[in-house]
């Protein structure tokens, strides 16, 4: 049952994001923090690093929830939630540095991995007493110290970097993150893990507010600030909620993307070839990204494909995966 102490934080998450994002767009335009919209023939310049106002909304919502709990003397899980917030904030800071350095330059991949491992340390510390995880089709598996010392850092780093792999189309990252974190939030709620559910849903609500400005035609791009922090929040929620199996299933499109992009040695971008009429074409004879596969499939069954169709296609796939884990 929903309570005022859980509804208000979610409302604050989306409200802060809705209010902060247009202000951020003006700041980004004034400071020339702009990126090219590659899937449009005119390549317009769009405000970048929209992860900043989204993180503001997320943190505002979660801190409001913690404040309510403190007033009501319900301090359970505060240590774990604070560790999650620190991990997500550190991941967002890594993304912000990467964004500020610039597209095509950015941090070297090895630095992203090492910094991602560093960002996972707060969760490693609060998880030292845990030695089991759930594995799809196997159930609970006891792993000893291998779980907190090896799997948690790898999981956070992999989720933060992996969520960045399906990106570059208006609304895509925000839609995918909203669905994944909403499903994880429902799973937590079912298991009566309300604090982690509120954290997961706070990010989902913040993303839905950001989507209003990021949907086609986008007024702001998410940047790695958003993708790293959202990926880290997915990994962190899965760990604290003991929902690793659920997260792995929801992350299936990203695993497939990893395999498809490996065909080019990760050298080819996921962008499409835009046409004058606003439709998209696959830019190569072979598929080097899952987005290209989606465009190819939709062209066979639908005809003309436009940018909103791509993000909606992947959101539909994610909704089906979400329905699967919730029903099965």
pLDDT in tens, 217-262: 999 999 999 999 999 999 999 999 999 999 999 999 999 999 999 9
Q: Is pLDDT at 266 greater than 80 in this prediction?
A: yes
Of 81-85, 100-104, 177-181, 293-297, least confident by mean pLDDT is 100-104
Q: Is pLDDT at 113 greater than 70 in this prediction?
A: yes
In the structure, what pLDDT confidence band is assigned to residue 156 with cuts at 50, 70 and 90? Answer: very high
**Mean pLDDT value of segment 49-59:** 98
pLDDT of residue 76: 63
Q: CB atoms < 10 A from the CB of 32, how many?
A: 9
Q: Is pLDDT at 128 greater than 90 in this prediction?
A: no
Q: Is pLDDT at 104 greater than 70 in this prediction?
A: no
pLDDT of residue 268: 87
**Mean pLDDT value of segment 263-280:** 91
pLDDT of residue 302: 83
Q: Is pLDDT at 294 greater than 60 in this prediction?
A: yes
H-type helices in the chain, by residue range?
4-30, 51-71, 78-101, 109-119, 121-126, 146, 152-162, 172-190, 194-214, 223-240, 244-250, 252-261, 290-301, 307-327
In the structure, what pLDDT confidence band is assigned to residue 1 with cuts at 50, 70 and 90? Answer: low
pLDDT mean across residues, the chain: 93
In the structure, what pLDDT confidence band is assigned to residue 84 with cuts at 50, 70 and 90? Answer: very high
Each as own residue / partner, the long-range contacts of residues 66-71 (CB below 8 Å, 24 or more positions apart, any chain) are: 68/5, 68/8, 68/9, 69/5, 69/195
Of 155-164, 260-269, 273-282, least confident by mean pLDDT is 260-269
Distance CA 28, CA 167 (A): 20
Supply 183's token pair. Answer: 């499903």
Distance CA 264, CA 287 (A): 9
Q: Is pLDDT at 50 greater than 90 in this prediction?
A: yes
Distance CA 11, CA 7 (A): 6
**Mean pLDDT value of segment 6-25:** 97
165-186 pLDDT per residue, tens: 999 999 999 999 999 999 999 9
Alpha carbon 11 to chain centroid, angstroms: 20
pLDDT of residue 103: 62
In the structure, what pLDDT confidence band is assigned to residue 117 with cuts at 50, 70 and 90? Answer: very high
**Mean pLDDT value of segment 261-287:** 91
pLDDT of residue 293: 95
CB 46 within 8 A of CB 21: no
Q: What is the DSSP letter of 328?
A: -
Q: Is pLDDT at 204 greater than 70 in this prediction?
A: yes
* 34-36 and 139-142 strand pairing: unpaired
Distance CA 174, CA 176 (A): 6
Q: How buried is 301 (Cβ within 10 angstroms: 0-12 exposed, 13-18 middle, 19+ buried)?
A: exposed
**Mean pLDDT value of segment 135-140:** 72
Q: What is the DSSP letter of 306?
A: B
Report helix, strand or coil for 164. Answer: coil
List, as one string, the DSSP characters of 105-157: TSS-HHHHHHHHHHHTHHHHHHTTT--EEEETTTEEEE-TTHIIIIIHHHHHH
End-to-end CA distance of the chain: 22
């Amino acid at each position: 049952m929903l309570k005022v102490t859980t509804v208000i934080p979610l409302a604050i998450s989306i409200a802060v994001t809705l209010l902060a994002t247009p202000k951020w767009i003006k700041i980004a335009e004034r400071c020339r923090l702009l990126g090219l919209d590659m899937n449009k023939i005119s390549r317009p310049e769009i405000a970048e690093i929209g992860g900043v106002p989204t993180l503001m909304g997320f943190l505002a919502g979660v801190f409001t929830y913690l404040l309510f709990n403190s007033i009501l003397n319900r301090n359970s899980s505060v240590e774990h939630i604070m560790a999650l917030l620190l991990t997500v904030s550190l991941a967002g800071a890594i993304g912000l540095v990467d964004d500020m350095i610039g597209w095509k330059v950015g941090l070297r991949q090895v630095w992203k991995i090492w910094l991602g491992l560093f960002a996972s340390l707060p969760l490693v510390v609060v998880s030292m007493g845990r030695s089991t995880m759930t594995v799809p089709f196997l159930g609970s598996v006891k792993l000893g110290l291998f779980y907190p010392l090896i799997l948690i850092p790898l999981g956070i780093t992999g989720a933060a970097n992996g969520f960045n792999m399906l990106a570059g189309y208006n609304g895509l990252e925000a839609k995918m993150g909203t669905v994944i974190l909403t499903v994880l939030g429902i799973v937590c709620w079912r298991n009566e893990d309300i604090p982690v559910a509120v954290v997961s849903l706070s990010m989902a609500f913040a993303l839905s507010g950001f989507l209003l400005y990021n949907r086609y035609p986008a007024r702001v791009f998410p940047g790695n600030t958003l993708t790293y922090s959202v990926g880290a929040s997915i990994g962190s929620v899965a760990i604290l909620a003991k929902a690793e199996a659920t997260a792995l299933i929801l992350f299936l499109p990203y695993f497939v993307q990893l395999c498809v992009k490996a065909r080019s040695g990760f050298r080819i971008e996921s962008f499409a070839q835009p046409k004058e009429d606003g439709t998209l074409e696959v830019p190569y004879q072979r598929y080097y990204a899952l987005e290209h596969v989606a465009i190819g499939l939709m062209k066979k069954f639908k005809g003309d494909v436009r940018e909103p169709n791509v993000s909606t296609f992947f959101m539909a796939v994610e909704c089906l995966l979400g329905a699967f884990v919730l029903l099965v």
